[in-house]
Structure 1
Amino acid sequence: MIDNAILKNVAKHISLDQDETAYFLSILKQKKYPKKSNILKEGEICHTINFVQSGTLRAFYRDTEGKESTIMFAISDWWITDMSCFISQQPAMLNIETIEESTIFHLQKEDLDELYIKIPKFERFFRVIMQNAYIREQLRVIQNLSLSAEQRYHIFLNKYPQVAQQVTQKQIASYLGITPEFLSMIRSNKNK
């Protein structure tokens, strides 16, 4: 049974009638994943954009030396994919994995393209989603260039308190571009 969460997410930006709702739900694939499952591996073709019904996911890049850099997190009611590779249908640059048991709705690229034709208002929905993501990432880049690690950590805690509770300190450090040891120093200074 499909949870109402995805329909509430869509309703934030567009209204659907009964037939449109039925069609949209018919093209979604729901899957439950255990903790530490791969949703997408670097090098695979990125076929889906994913809605998190429940759980927590992490998208990360792994360099040639095996160092992981967290690019984004996704919790319930968020969308996640390797957007560049999803749009171009190229091999993924990112890995996406579950941090905890998660239930995901997958929307295939070809189904999304058809959705835009059959229900054009979905172009508006995904435009708003992508605009918001672009703004968030642009602000993150500016913060990384202009703010200290401590300032970025406090912004992260204030902006994403739910995420901070569901991920490890190592993953937060990876997202902030600092070592876990440096994050521990920041956290211990905060508690003084």
Structure 2
Amino acid sequence: MNFLSFIEQNGTALHKDAGDHLFRQGDSDSSMYVIKEGMLKAYYVTSEGKETIKSFLQIGDVIGSMSAAYAQMQNTFSLICLEPCTLIRFDFKALHSASLTDQELSKDVIEILLKFAMKKEQRERDLLCLSAQQRYEKLLDTSPDLIEKVTQNDIARYLGVTSVGLSRIKHRVMEST
């Protein structure tokens, strides 16, 4: 069985409105989600109340807190719908168990995890090695639709700058083009 067949057989369709959380940091939710429609934001909140954006998720992405799903810990981040969303929710433990005996499913799970790891590796590299302006320019090049859909405050939090800093960066980028 492949991954799509697994979620068709074992998943549950879920519809959420903009502003609805799938889970919050500190909750225990061992579910994983496949995004069929809409956009979500995964974010952290520090003990001081500062929000930092981990990622934006769109159609086709698979998301869940691996700490909660695999290690039965609390969710390390929150997941909120930025627009109305349709998702398929499935139990990670059931996927893990089935993948241990189904080679095709196991291969698909490995592919999903590899894509996830590469995405996280790239995000880490960008945050550590690129300037804020370079991160913004890369976002413009790779995800122009994101710039249109997401608030400037969220873009700033994703880039790791203040709203004022983002405004300055945008001004410099516009002047240089």
TM-score (normalizing by structure 1): 0.83
CA distance in 1, matches of 2:20, 2:62: 17
Aligned counterpart for 1:45 among listed residues 28, 31, 35: 28
Which residue matches 1:123?
A: 106
Amino acid at match of 1:119: D
Question: 5+ unaligned residues in a row in structure 1: which ranges?
Answer: 1-14
Displacement after TM superposition at 1:145 (Å): 1.7
Please say if 1:77 is aligned against 2:60: yes
CA distance in 1, matches of 2:151, 2:157: 10
Number of equivalenced pairs = 174
TM-score (normalizing by structure 2): 0.90
Instruction: Check the 8 A contact 1:24/1:115 in 2, yes or no.
Output: no
Instruction: Check the 8 A contact 1:75/1:163 in 2, yes or no.
Output: no
Say what the alpha-carbon RMSD is for the aligned residues: 1.8
CA distance in 1, matches of 2:146, 2:22: 19
Which residue matches 1:150?
A: 133
Percent of aligned pairs with the same residue?
A: 23
CA distance in 1, matches of 2:76, 2:157: 17
Provide the secondary structure at the position in 2 that maps to 1:191: helix
Provide the secondary structure at the position in 2 that maps to 1:189: helix
**What do residues 118-176 of structure 1 show as CA deviations (whole Å, max 9, x unaligned)?**
53322211211111221221222222222110001111222223333221111111111
CA distance in 2, matches of 1:81, 1:73: 13
Provide the secondary structure at the position in 2 that maps to 1:30: strand
Please say if 1:114 is aligned against 2:97: yes
Provide the secondary structure at the position in 2 that maps to 1:32: strand
1:40-189 equivalent positions in 2, closer than 5 A: 40-117=23-100, 119-189=102-172
